[in-house]
Structure 1
Amino acid sequence: MVIEYNNNGELTMGGTSLKTVAQSFGTPTIVYDETQIRTQMRRFHEAFKKSGLNYNISYASKAFTCLQMVKLVQEEGLELDVVSEGELYTTLEAGFDPQHIHFHGNNKTKHEIQYALESKVGYIVIDSLEEIDLIDRYASDVVNVVIRLNPGVEAHTHEFIQTGQEDSKFGLSIKHGLAIEGVRKVKNSKRLNLKGVHFHVGSQIEGTEAMIETARLVIQWLKENDIEVELINLGGGFSIKYVEGDVSFPIEDGIAEITEAIISIAKETGFPIPEIGIEPGRSIVGEAGITLYEVGTIKTIPNVNKYVSIDGGMSDHIRTSLYDAQYEALLVNRNDQADETVTIAGKLCESGDIIIKDAKLPSTVKRGDYLAILSTGAYHYSMASNYNQMQKPSVFFLKDGKAREVIKRQSLRQLIINDTK
């Protein structure tokens, strides 16, 4: 994605003026570079094609989903993973082939399991021993399942987004025997077919070491226990660049390292390489999205801090409050030098409603200016809430100089549509 200032001093995305977008459609608004989303998907495809292995790429819906996003995923030949009834419903309403949908979740309800079975999803990812009995009970035909393993590997990332460590709510532990018990239960069931295994070590992972280490552990475990599978799903969690110093996962080199390692491990162990799956989400949409805000109150506390408040907040930007995540901000409507350190704050009634703690902005910033917060394409709209009865923002895809609305701004009426009088 190319974000730069044009000759008029206005910030642009792919040549489109973001000032024009903000003035035309209001704020807060999340804007995506559609071409970059497609490019990221194609990069993963090309990297796997070079490996010569059978593979599938499944977009992680939780990062960002809507009807138009699902259609885009389908056009680029990816599969989809969903983790709730709502995500499955959205995917089906978009016309996506259910055979290419994978249903995840550590606590699937009985209704969700029945819905997934009735929809004939490609496979269900089992996350507990009890779930095996539930699926077997409700299935009327043979259903493909994949067992999510807990490999006991700690990835180097924020503790809230680690998922493969021993003490985790996700998966069946290899070390404590739950994984092998799960395999036995599936094989002894009436209607379940063990298609493969799945693991996921965490999110915002910059390197390949944890994934390769886990792949080795899993392949050795499969070999030692004489377990045949059609699929090993490596999960996702590939990193993106939020601020200077962050590393975007090097898709071409990274996938080459992972696939070459798997080929080597398979040769060492004598294990036949099955289909390899991955589930990127953040790495596809994260850097392709930005959020536009309008500046409101500016409050200077002498010798303490300067607060620049915007017309959104933790209702559409929760990651700073949750993870102390860092972001970069740019002034949209003119190209003044960023010569002052400020705190960009939201408008919600929480002291923790902060967008960026130490943001570099021009000292000329004033009410009515527009700000762009970069790399907000993943886990922003999807984690948005109505706290303080805030309306969820609109979302646009930009392509070839044109803005396409993919999600309308939530109306005031919609805030109370389910209320009773």
Structure 2
Amino acid sequence: MRPETPPQLETRTCQAAIRSPELDESIKLFHQATGIGFYEQLPEEPNWTHYLDLTYAQKMRFSLVFDQQAEPHSRHATYPVHTYGAFPGLLNAGGEAPVATHKISAVTVAPSYRRRGILSRQITADLAYAQQAGFPIAALTASEATIYGRYGFEPATYQSRFTLKCAHGVKLRVQVPGRVVDADPQHFGPGYAALAVRALEQTFGSVDSTEFDNGFALGRWDTWETLEKPKNLRFAAYYDDAGQLGGFATYKFGGWDEPKAKLVVHKLVATSDAARIKLFEYLGNHDLVEEVHGQGPVADPLRQVLENVRDYHVRSIDDVLWLRVLDVVAAFQARGYQRDARLLLSVSDRLELISGTYLFEVSDSRATVSRIEDGQADSGLPRVALSERELAGLYLGTVQLDQLLDSGRAELVGGGTAGDWVHLFSVAREGFTPHGF
């Protein structure tokens, strides 16, 4: 038996900026390889124009890793063994303005090339690039939950997948203002784009929507896997009492062959709880429909106003957004706060991107954060030691300092007892991320 030839890896990194035939071909190869990596159906040739347009719109920076020693008959003689993409975005962290965010996506490693450090080298280099480029935060949505913690990522938002029982209609305990109309998506292009921006501004934990998200909501294409034109989608728009567009839902009938007739929500964007509740009330009052399948925050306001709370059945609770802090000062000064406090955080970072001690001084909902040397620390201030992962969990208030201290994930340096400062990173409500990437 011939000995296995070790890979000779070559990384090609491209920026989807100025269009060219060569870059178009690299983008196409990138998406083909990513689709194979996620076991997806490859798109039809006419749809490649959409992929190119969307990738350029995202300003995607992507890498392909090739094995120069791959066997001639191997798929990897022409296809990359690893794909990795990232693009700029925004995150609502409760501050005065959204936070610039490095959004990571399309990460694959071919089965025969796993456990060779390919991803470790790529993501380490990319996070260093993002830090130097000035991004305070990196974000991703993880298909596997055990991979990204070693690089400093931590779950920051969760969502509930639920079934709303509505065989006899949806009965609410309150009358919700506004109205819902059966929408024609052809007339909602500019209006929906503006709505998506307002929803980002109003939804703590949300990231900005991409051109794909907007096209998906308006029925231009179905899934990212094929970008084919969807069939049988329906649309509903919510208007508040002032006549302003405040919500939009895209949904589909599940078919008569199902055990129960259901509507499945594909996308729902809302600028308020009233808009969200009113849209689900509308969906649940369709004739002959017994269930509505949707997604929402874990503490969904819809459940709080149902006449029968058991009509809301949680099928699963899933992590959505994972965060990694790249600049402690910039990230936490851009965040919103509910409490005043002074505190020292000593961060140990396995990648040495943000290791150090930081002074937090929070007053009137704003923070001043500064990196200090150990000798400069005020001995009278509480000091907590934690890792970069735990710090990421604090960013959107997903966990609190008292929880980290009680569970041993953080340590109060010098002993003593916890004070009100343990609630410094508390939030008014949980984060929710309506857009994946």
TM-score by length of 2: 0.26
TM-score by length of 1: 0.27
